[in-house]
Structures are given as C-alpha cells and as structure tokens.
Amino acid sequence: MLKIILIFLIFALPLQAQIMTNSTYKITSDTFDCSIIYFSSSNGNYQMTHSVGQTTPMKDCSFSTNLLLQSGYLPLPLLPLDTTPPGNVTELAVVLEESGTSFTLNWKNPIDSDLAGIRIVRKIGSAPASTNDGLVIIINNNSTVTYKDTGLERGTHYYYRIYNFDYNGNISSGVTADAETLSGLGKNKFKVKKSAINLNNGDVMEFEYNAEPGAEVYFEIYTITGTLVKKIIAQEYRGYWQGNNKKDKDVASGFYFVMMRVNGRIVNKKPLKIGVIR
C-alpha cells in the first residue's frame, strides 16, 4: 500500500503547469495531523500551510487549489490517496484469567507497512456487526499484539471483533472471538449449563468449574450403576462432553452421573445427575 510521503521538487515550471483549477489534494500523516507543503515562487522557500489537526485517523483532509492560485504557492505533487485496507489479525484468542472476570486477548498483526493501529469492539450476547456496534477500544500502535480486558460481569458471554486500520483511515473486515466469564463458583466447585442434552440437535454439555491455577481437572461420567463412561480433561475453567463414551460412540438415552477430580481427588461428595436424549 502506498503511504503518502513522496515529495517531488519542482522549481522551473510555471504556476499553471503545477496545479489545476478546482482540483483537490488529500494527505494523511503518521500523527493524524493533515497538511500540505507548498513552494513559494516569491521567496524560494518551502512552507507548510493549511494544516488541520485531527483526533481520529478515520477522516481525510482535503485542500482546494482554488485558494492557492491566489496565494503564490505551488503544491508539491502527491501520490494518489490509498484506499486499500490492511489485512486482518490472525490467531486471535481470548484467554480467561484466574479472577474469572478478566480476559487477555492475543493475536498476530499483518505485515502491512502502513498499519496504524487496532480497533477492538466488545459486545455482550452477540458478535459486533460493525466497527461501532459495542464498546470501542482504540489502540494507536501498530506493534501491539495483546490487550487485557478487566472488571467484567460474572457469568456473561462477551464477543470481541478486532479491526486493523491504516494511516489513511482504511479499515479491515475484522476477526471475531468470544468467551464467557465465570459465574462466581467457590473453590473446587462446578456446574453445568444444561442438565440434559439432546444428541439429535448436536447439543454439547458444558461444565464450568473453579480450581486453583495449574490444577489438573477432569470430569468423569458414570452410568447410574457406577460404570465409567467417559473421562473429560478440562482446561481454562471449562469442560465439554459430546454425549460419547470412551470409544467415542454416542451413549444411550438416560440418566448419568458426573464427578469432578482435582489433582486426582474427587471433590464433589454427591454426584451430579445429568440426562441424555438421542
């Protein structure tokens, strides 16, 4: 992508050969302060005029040459305005922190040379549909690859969409990721989102737990007669069961029991009863 920094020095050509009546020049600088440099035919000096300060990279600066014809200044030729957006971030991940109410977002930036910054849009309950559909966080830094979002509501599903923008206000299509905060469980406690799942609908049973950081946590599914059906390894305060057994075959309809182990020790004295429909 083109970055508007190229300057051609012009000295001998007449005024009318350098600017066109009713034409407009546009430029956006690295600091989002727009300006055009003109050559004075009267004193032979270069001078910056018509500078317009900005607080956002999402706006272009336009300058009419009609006024310049009366001022004695020649505008230096500018490259065409860049209209190509930068690429999207890759490997976006939302990691739940130990507190259960904070996320750390990690990603990789594209290699575009004119990448100016990152625009994060956060929304509760559904993915952001546009660059303004939710809480907007602007990062005016093209090397940032992580962001920590703290003080979130417990038991709430958050969606994040990350856009990249360049120095000319072009913005990428965006990438979305989502995660849910913990609901405030006590230590070594767990719960299920749904007490029964229907395999015909592709349901998945989700377990949410709270345990000390670094603990080895897994859930064991048993038949009502005490036969082990499946062991589920849990990570990042979540565990998931697709209604399958140790051979990855769908289990029969009926009731089952769940036990939670932390570092090899069963922590729920009373099994939790769940159901499966197929």
Contacts of residues 195-203 at CB distance under 8 Å and 24 or more positions apart, as own/partner, are 195/273, 195/274, 195/275, 196/274, 196/275, 196/276, 196/277, 197/241, 197/243, 197/274, 197/275, 197/276, 197/277, 198/277, 198/278, 199/243, 199/250, 199/276, 199/277, 199/278, 200/277, 200/278, 203/243
- Residue, of 38 and 248, whose pLDDT is higher: 248
Compute the average pLDDT of residues 94-106: 91
Contact 28, 61 (CB under 8 A): yes
C-alpha to C-alpha distance for 157 and 168, rounded to whole angstroms: 34
Q: What is the pLDDT of residues 167-202, one digit of tens each?
A: 878 899 999 999 999 887 778 888 898 899 999 999
- Does the model's pTM come out above 0.75? no
CA angle 203, 205, 211 (to 5 degrees): 155
Ordered domains of the chain (ranges, CATH): 15-75 (no CATH), 90-180 (2.60.40.10), 189-277 (2.60.40.10)
Q: What is the pLDDT of residues 11-28, one digit of tens each?
A: 322 222 233 333 333 333
pLDDT of residue 183: 82
Which segments of the chain does DSSP mark as H helices, in order? none
Bridging pattern class, strands 228-234 and 217-223:
antiparallel
